[in-house]
Structure 1
Amino acid sequence: MAPQLTQSDITELLTAPTPDKRAQIARKVGRQIDAGGLSGQERLLANDILRLMVRDAAEMVRTAVAESLCAASEVPADVVNSIISDIDSVAVPFIERSPLITDEALLEIIEAGAPAKVLAIASRGSVSEEVSDAIARDGERDAVVRLLGNEGATLSTSAFSEVLTRWHDDVGIADRMAMRKALPLTVVERLVSVVSDEMKNRLVARGGVGNDIAERLAFEARESVTIKLFDGLDSIEDFALLMSHLQGAGRLSGTLIVRAACLGEMKFVEHALAQLARISPERAWTLVHDAGRLGLRALFQQARLSQDLYLPLRIAVDVYHEMVRSEEVLDREHFRRQIIERILTQPDGLKNDDLDFLLYQIARQEQIIAQREGEAADAVRAASA
C-alpha cells in the first residue's frame, strides 16, 4: 500500500524543508496518486501539493515528482504540461513513459525541436502514425533511428518515404528500417538500392517479396555491369559494336540508357540513342547537347523510348551540363544524388519514389509487354500450324 501523507508531511512541505525532504514527500505523493483509492478531498489536496512541487526551485524535487508520476493514470493536465515543459533531466523520463501525454502535446514538442525530448517520444511504448510522421519529417537522425527501431511505433508508407528521401544515402538508417517486422512492398523495393549486403539478403529472404527483390537485384546488377563495360572501350568502332550487340540481345533498353545518364555516362547515352535512332554518334551528340532541348526530345522520340523516361533523362542531361559549366568534378554518387533531388522537386515529376524504383517499375512493364507480345505471337503460330 502506498504510504499516506501525514499532517507532519504537509507541515514540513509548507515550512520550506530541505530539497531532500521535499523530494521524499514528492515521491510519497506520487506513489499515493498512482495507487489510487483517494477520496475526493484527498485527491484535491494531493493535486495542490503536486502543483507546488512541479514549480519547486530544486531540480531534485521536480525530478522526484516526474519519476513518481510516470505510470500514473490520472494527473491534472496543468501538472503534466509543467513536467513536459521542464528541463530535459526532469521531462525526458516522463515523456518517454507517461500514458497521459496527448498526441497534440507530443507534436508541439517535436515542432519545438528539443532533441532529447523528441528522442524520448520516439522511444515511447506506443507512437501514433501522426506523431511518427512528424518525427520522420522533422526529427534529427538519432530520433529517426530510435523510431525505426521501435516496433511500438506505427509508421505510414509516407513516413518511410520521407526518411528515405531525407537520408537516401545513409546505410545505417536503411539497415535499421530493413530490420522492422513489417514493411510496405514499395518501401522494401526502395531499400534494396541503399542497404548493406547483409540487409539485402534479409530483404530477399522476406516472405511474399523475395522473388521481386531477387529479380530486381539481378536486373540492377546486369545493367550496372553493362555500363561499366563501356569504360574499357577505346574506339568509336568498339562503342558501335557493343551497342549493336546489346540491341541484338534485346538489352539496349530505355532504363539502361537512363541509368547510364544518371551516372553521368553521357558517351554511353549518346551512342545508345544513336544506335536506337539509326543515326551517327556525331549527330546524336549534337541532338543530346542541344541547349534548346528540342534536339533531345526529337532524338528521344526517334529512338521510340517510353515517354515515362523522358523527364529523368532530360534532368540528367541538364545536371550534367551544369556540372560541366561549373567545372565540378563528376563523381557518380554525387551526380546521382543531384538528379534524384532535382526529380523530387519537379512539380510535374516524381513525388515520393526513388529514381531506381522508377527504373525498375518501367523495366517490369517492358518485360510484361514483351512477354504478352511473345505469347500472342506463339498463339498466332499455333493457330496457323
Structure 2
Amino acid sequence: MPTVVAPEPIPEQNPLPQGLDQLLNLARARTPQDRGRLILGVADLYRTAAQAVGGAPSALADVFIALTRDAEHEIRRVLAVRLSEADWAPADLVKMLAADEIEIARPVIASSPLLQDQDLLQLLADCSLDHQIQVALRPGLGAAVARRIVERRDPTVMTALATNRSARIADDDFAALVEHSRHAAALRAPLARHPALDEALALRLYHWVGDALRQAIGERFDINPVRLTEAAVAAARQVAGLDGSAPADPAADEADARLTAKLHSAGQLRPAYLIRALREEKLGVFIHGMATLGGFDVIHVRRALSGATARPLFLACLAVGLDRAAFPALLTEIRKLNKGFPLDPDGTAWRLADRSADQAAYEFRLLMIDDDQPSV
C-alpha cells in the first residue's frame, strides 16, 4: 500500500503585520515612553502608506492627528522636528503643530514645505508674537505674507522680516519698512545692509541711522556727501513737520502777526523782546519780530529756522541787532521749541567773523535767494 502522508497543518496566519501588532500593544500601554513610541511608529506607518501607490487612507491620518493632539509636550516636540521637512505628513497635522507652543511650532514654521501662504497668514492673525516672528524669519517667505507683516506694523516682527534676506518683499513694502524705521530704531541696521536697499531709499534712511551706518551707506553707494546731507535735512524736515514756508497753525500765526505789528507800531518791538518771546515759548512772535525788525520775508525767516545749518539764523540775528554772544543760548531755546531745528551739525557753521548789521542782512538775503532757486 502506498504510504499516505498526512498534510501539514496550515499555520494560523497573523491577520496584522508584526509592526502593527506592536503598535496595538503600545496603544494599550500607559507610560509616556510607550505613547511616544506609538506616535512615532504611527508616523513611520503613515509615511510608508503615503509613499505607496494610492497614498495613506484618511482614517490613518485622523488617528495620527488624534494621537498627536493628546500627546505630551516632549512627544509633540520630537514629532515636530521629525516632520519639519517632511512632504508626506498630513497637512492638518502640520498646521496643528505650527500653531502649538512656540518650541514645538518653530521647526515646523521654519521648514515645513506643507505650510502655504494662507496658513502663514492665519498664524500671523491667530498666534503669539513669537509665532509671528518665526513666520517673518521663514526662508523664502512669500510676498503676500511679507506684505501682511508690513501692514500690521509690529516693530519686532518687521525687524525679523528685515533680517530675512531670502524673503520676497515687494518694492513698495520695502519702502514702507524704510519709512517705519523712522520710529523703529531696530529696523535701521538690517535695512541699511539689506540687498534690496537702493540708492533712493538709502538717501531716505540716511538721516535716521547712526554714524557707523551712515558711513556704511556712503561707502556702499558712493553717494556724494552733499547729497547725503541734503537728504538728511529733507527727511528731518518731513519728520518734524516743517516745510520751511508755511505755519503749522495759520490762525495762531495770524494772531502772532497782529501782536507783532501792534508792538512795532507802539515802539516796543526791540531785539530784547525777541529773546523774551522765546523764553515765553512764543516762537511765532519771534519769527514775525525778526521779519519786521530786519525787513525780511517771513517765509525766509521760517526757512532759516528749519535749515540744515544755523548760519542763516545767526546772520538774521546779527542783522536785527542781537548780540552774537547771546546766540548759543538763543539757538538752544529755538531748537527746543522747533523740534530740533535749525540743525547745528558741527557747532561752528555760524561762528563767522565780525560783520555789520547791514552786511549780515545782505548775506542773509543772498542765502535765502539761493534757497528759492529750483534745484538742478
Please state which band the TM-score falls in when normalised by the shorter chain: 0.5 to 0.7
Residue 15 (1) aligns with residue 14 (2): no
How far off its partner does 1:158 sit? 3.4
Q: Are residues 303 and 60 of structure 1, via their aligned partners in 2, closer, same or farther at CA, if it must alter by over 3 Å?
A: same
CA contact (8 A) 2:181 2:208 kept: no
SS state at 1:6 partner: helix
CA contact (8 A) 1:111 1:138 kept: no
CA contact (8 A) 1:170 1:194 kept: no
Partner of 1:147: 161
**What amino acid is the match of 2:109?**
I
Structure with the greater alpha carbon radius of gyration? 2
Structure 1 portions without partners, runs of 5+ = 225-254, 271-279, 291-295, 297-301, 314-328, 338-365, 372-385
Partner of 2:109: 95
Larger RCO (CA under 8 A, 6+ residues apart): 1
C-alpha distance in 2 between matches for 1:160 and 1:78: 33
Match of 1:78 among 87, 92, 95: 92
Q: Are residues 99 and 220 of structure 1, via their aligned partners in 2, closer, same or farther at CA, if it must alter by over 3 Å?
A: closer
Q: 1:3-43 deviations in whole A, cap 9, x for unaligned?
A: x9811343034324422222234334445656763343655
Partner of 2:223: 211
Partner of 1:317: none
SS state at 2:141 partner: coil
C-alpha distance in 1 between matches for 2:234 and 2:144: 39
How far off its partner does 1:332 sit? 5.5
Q: 1:31-82 deviations in whole A, cap 9, x for unaligned?
A: 5656763343655464233222222142223223322211111333322332
Number of corresponding residues: 267
**What amino acid is the match of 1:210?**
D
CA contact (8 A) 1:67 1:94 kept: yes
What is the 5 A alignment of 1:36-47?
Answer: 37-40=51-54, 42=56, 44=58, 46-47=60-61
Partner of 1:363: none
How far off its partner does 1:259 sit? 10
Partner of 1:108: 122
Structure 2 portions without partners, runs of 5+ = 1-16, 236-240, 258-268, 278-282, 286-290, 292-296, 308-331, 341-370
Q: Are residues 41 and 165 of structure 1, via their aligned partners in 2, closer, same or farther at CA, if it must alter by over 3 Å?
A: closer
How far off its partner does 1:195 sit? 1.3
Percent of aligned pairs with the same amino acid: 20
**What amino acid is the match of 2:244?**
V
**What amino acid is the match of 1:74?**
W
CA contact (8 A) 2:99 2:105 kept: yes
CA contact (8 A) 1:34 1:71 kept: no
**What amino acid is the match of 1:14?**
A
Residue 134 (1) aligns with residue 163 (2): no
Deviates more, 1:77-86 or 1:159-168: 159-168
C-alpha distance in 2 between matches for 1:13 and 1:88: 28
CA contact (8 A) 1:19 1:58 kept: yes
Match of 1:193 among 207, 215, 238: 207
Q: Are residues 27 and 368 of structure 1, via their aligned partners in 2, closer, same or farther at CA, if it must alter by over 3 Å?
A: farther
CA contact (8 A) 1:30 1:68 kept: no
Q: Are residues 62 and 260 of structure 1, via their aligned partners in 2, closer, same or farther at CA, if it must alter by over 3 Å?
A: same
C-alpha distance in 2 between matches for 1:331 and 1:303: 16
How far off its partner does 1:150 sit? 1.0
C-alpha distance in 1 between matches for 2:219 and 2:28: 67
C-alpha distance in 2 between matches for 1:140 and 1:256: 27
Q: 1:90-114 deviations in whole A, cap 9, x for unaligned?
A: 2222112112112112112212351
- Structure number with the higher helix fraction is 1
Residue 50 (1) aligns with residue 61 (2): no
Match of 1:69 among 53, 75, 83: 83
**What amino acid is the match of 1:62?**
R
**TM-score relative to the length of structure 2:** 0.55
**TM-score relative to the length of structure 1:** 0.54
Q: Are residues 31 and 104 of structure 1, via their aligned partners in 2, closer, same or farther at CA, if it must alter by over 3 Å?
A: same
SS state at 2:223 partner: helix
Residue 178 (1) aligns with residue 192 (2): yes
What is the 5 A alignment of 1:285-364?
Answer: 289=284, 336=339
Q: Are residues 333 and 152 of structure 1, via their aligned partners in 2, closer, same or farther at CA, if it must alter by over 3 Å?
A: farther
Q: 1:288-331 deviations in whole A, cap 9, x for unaligned?
A: 848xxxxx9xxxxx6688xxx9xx99xxxxxxxxxxxxxxx989
Q: Are residues 70 and 113 of structure 1, via their aligned partners in 2, closer, same or farther at CA, if it must alter by over 3 Å?
A: closer
Q: 1:186-212 deviations in whole A, cap 9, x for unaligned?
A: 321221011122211221122xx4335
How far off its partner does 1:132 sit? 1.3
Q: 1:129-148 deviations in whole A, cap 9, x for unaligned?
A: 22112223326433322221
Partner of 1:24: 37
Q: Are residues 167 and 57 of structure 1, via their aligned partners in 2, closer, same or farther at CA, if it must alter by over 3 Å?
A: same
**What amino acid is the match of 1:176?**
P
Q: Are residues 55 and 170 of structure 1, via their aligned partners in 2, closer, same or farther at CA, if it must alter by over 3 Å?
A: closer
SS state at 1:54 partner: helix
C-alpha distance in 1 between matches for 2:66 and 2:41: 14
